[in-house]
Each structure stands twice: as structure tokens, then as C-alpha cells.
């Protein structure tokens, strides 16, 4: 099934996500043609930082400057989005951001802010929109690098709760087949990296007490569940299916599960690109 067909089928079953899907499609169309990063890290030089828990994009040893490529992609996407017909709630912010990013070094500064960790407080004006468009730009720029990093990386040297590429907290998880049976991968909603993690553990607080970890099965979503932690009240939306993996793990198709989790007393601790309030 093509991605477009899979999206239409998903929206047919989740019509309340239609607006999010339409905006997502608009932004992805704006990102069409973004050039991928050509430069590659000094892999051998980066290896000690990988072992020490330093994400690739934050490693000085890797010698990888993604700001110029990311900034060019962000300016392109922001300009195309600002020129599109948008809902009134976001149209003004999109046009204002496009103007700001035309200023010298503004886009480079925005990408640097993203890569350095997007602090909860502070950051640029329209931070939510910058985060969304900026990471969409970076997903396209970094796609071949993320794939190469996955082939090169020794997962046993990471096994951490944050993304090995960008350092973001995971947006989702999935179960995969391994030699021992079923393993677990976490999925980054920012750069789209997936990486191996312990089957029974909370990626946010490190809790490994099975008595303080649980699974909430969802009657209406047989291939989705919430892996919850009673220590930090965090949760990971987990996909147990295998079809349309890229679509489901892109986070926006399961935003309704964040509402369900919140209603049950849990807090989203994974990075999100869809919190556009204040944009």
C-alpha cells in the first residue's frame, strides 16, 4: 500500500485527525525536493562519544555541521508554507516566521537551537512552529545519514532512552522480531531514528521494576497500546503491528492516544512536534 493510500485508510478510521493530516501533507509537500546532507561524520572518531552517550548531532568528535543544510531546508519549507492557504490560527505565525528566517543567520540559529535540545522554556518566537518545520526540514536532510548511522551503530553501545542521533526523548515504540523472540525499538519523532531499547524499562526515568510498569490495551486500537510507568507517570505509545510502520510511527496518527493517556493521569514525556500553541 502506498503511503498516500495508507494515510487515507487511517483517516477513514480516525476522521478527527483529518485536519492534522491535511497540515502534515501540506508541510511534506513543501519539503519535497529538499537536498539530503552530503557530508558524513568521522565515524571512528565519533565511536568513543557513542559509547559515552553523546548523540551524533551533539558530538564535536563527529565533525558534522548540519546547520547550513538544515537552515537552507527550513527557509525553503517556511517560505512555501507561508505562501499556502492556511487556517487563520496559524497563517499569521507562518508568515511572520518566514519573514524572520529571511534575516541573516536566523535560520542557522533556529537549527542550532533544535540540535542543542529545544529547552522547555525560552527559544525563538513561534517556538512550536519552528520546532515542527525545523525538524521536518532536518528529517529530509538527515534521512540518508540516519539510515547509514543505523547500519554502523552497535546498538549494545547505546541502549539509552534518548535518540542516538539527536538526543530527543522517544515519541513512540514498536516491537520487532529478533533472534530471542520479540525486541523493542524506540522511535524519535524529531529525526525519525529508531533504536533498540530494553523490553521492560521506562526510557524516561530508567525504572526497571516490572511491578511499577504496565501496559494499557486499547479496545478500539488492537495494534496499539500504552506502555506506562508508575514511577514518573510517563508512557510510550507502542505499535505492535507491522503494516505501514513509517506512517504509524510518525506520531501524528496517534495523537488521540496522548489525549487518552492524559485523561488517565499520565504525562507525555516524549518530544512532540505537534504542540503548536503560542505559534
* 277 band by pLDDT with thresholds 50, 70 and 90: low
Torsion from C-alpha of 269, 134, 150, 272, nearest 10 degrees: 20
Kindly state whether residue 2 falls inside one of the protein's structural domains.
Answer: no
Grouping H, G, I as helix, E, B as strand and the rest as coil, residue 197 is strand
Question: Tens digit of pLDDT for each residue in 151-207?
Answer: 999 888 898 999 999 999 999 999 987 766 678 999 999 999 999 999 999 999 999
Based on the domain organization, do 163 and 130 belong to the same domain? no
Which tens digit of pLDDT belongs to each residue from 119-130?
A: 555 567 788 999
Residues 26 and 102 in one domain: yes
Q: Is residue 4 part of a domain?
A: no
Q: Domain ends where: 102, 131, 153? A: 153
Helix-, strand-, coil-residue percentages of the chain, each rounded to 5:
45, 15, 40
Position 209 pLDDT exceeds 50: yes
- 3-class SS at 113? helix
Whether residues 53 and 115 fall in one domain: yes
Shared domain check, 127 and 24: yes
Task: Report how many domains make up the chain.
Answer: 2
Look at residue 6 and tell me if it is in a domain: no
110 contacts 101 by C-beta, under 8 angstroms: yes
Given a contact cutoff of 8 angstroms between Cβ atoms, the answer to whether 208 and 159 are in contact is no
Outline where the chain has alpha helix (H).
3-13, 18-30, 43-52, 67-82, 88-101, 106-115, 127-152, 245-248, 255-263
The secondary structure of 49-106 as a DSSP string is HHHHT--GGG-TTTT---HHHHHHHHHHHHHHHHTS---HHHHHHHHHHHHHHTSTTH
| Position 256 pLDDT exceeds 80 | yes
Query: Could you tell me if residue 73 is inside a domain?
Result: yes
For residue 122, the model assigns a pLDDT of: 54
The alpha carbon of 265 is separated from its chain's Cα centroid by a whole number of angstroms, namely: 23
Distance, CA of 122 to CA of 94 (rounded, Å): 19
Question: Domain range spanning residue 251?
Answer: 158-272
Mark whether 67 and 104 lie in a shared domain: yes
Q: What is the pLDDT of residues 100-157, one digit of tens each?
A: 999 999 999 999 999 986 555 556 778 899 999 999 999 999 999 999 999 999 888 8
Question: Which residues lie closer than 8 Å to 203 by C-beta, 6 or more apart?
Answer: 160, 161, 162, 169, 170, 186, 197, 236
The pLDDT, as a whole number, for residue 118 is 53
The whole-angstrom separation of Cα 90 and Cα 113 is 22
Cell triple for 49? 562519544
pTM to 2 decimal places: 0.93
Contact predicate 191/56, CB 8 Å: no
Beta-bridge partner residues of 228: 214, 235
3 state DSSP class of 218: coil
**Is 3 a member of any domain?**
no
| pLDDT tens column, 17-36 | 999 999 999 999 999 999 99
Amino acid at each position: 500500500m502506498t503511503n498516500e493510500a495508507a494515510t487515507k485508510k487511517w483517516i477513514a478510521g480516525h476522521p478527527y485527525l483529518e485536519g492534522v493530516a491535511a497540515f502534515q501533507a501540506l508541510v511534506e509537500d513543501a519539503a519535497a525536493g529538499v537536498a539530503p546532507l552530503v557530508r558524513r561524520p568521522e565515524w571512528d572518531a565519533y565511536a568513543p562519544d557513542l559509547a559515552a552517550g553523546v548523540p551524533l548531532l551533539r558530538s564535536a568528535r563527529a565533525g558534522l555541521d548540519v546547520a547550513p543544510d538544515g537552515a537552507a531546508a527550513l527557509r525553503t519549507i517556511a517560505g512555501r508554507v507561508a505562501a499556502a492557504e492556511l487556517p487563520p490560527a496559524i497563517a499569521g505565525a507562518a508568515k511572520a516566521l518566514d519573514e524572520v528566517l529571511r534575516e541573516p543567520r536566523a535560520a542557522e540559529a533556529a537549527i542550532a537551537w533544535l540540535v542543542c535540545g529545544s529547552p522547555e522554556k525560552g527559544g525563538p518566537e513561534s517556538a512550536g512552529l519552528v520546532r515542527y518545520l525545523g525538524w521536518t526540514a532536518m528529517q529530509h536532510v538527515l534521512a540518508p545519514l540516519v539510515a547509514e548511522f543505523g547500519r554502523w551503530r552497535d546498538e549494545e553501545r547505546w541502549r539509552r532512552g534518548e535518540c542516538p542521533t539527536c538526543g530527543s526523548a522517544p515519541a513512540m515504540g514498536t516491537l520487532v522480531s529478533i533472534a530471542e523472540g520479540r525486541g523493542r525499538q524506540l522511535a524519535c519523532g524529531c529525526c525519525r531514528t529508531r533504536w533498540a531499547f530494553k523490553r521492560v524499562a521506562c526510557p524516561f526515568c530508567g525504572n526497571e521494576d516490572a511491578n511499577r510498569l504496565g501496559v494499557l490495551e486499547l479496545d478500539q486500537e488492537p495494534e496499539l497500546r500504552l506502555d506506562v510507568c508508575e514511577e514518573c507517570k510517563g508512557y510510550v505509545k507502542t505499535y505492535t503491528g507491522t503494516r505501514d510502520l513509517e506512517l504509524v510511527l510518525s506520531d501524528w496518527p496517534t495523537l488521540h492516544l496522548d489525549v487518552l493517556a492524559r485523561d488517565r493521569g499520565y504525562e507525555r514525556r516524549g518530544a512532540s512536534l505537534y504542540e503548536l500553541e503560542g505559534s
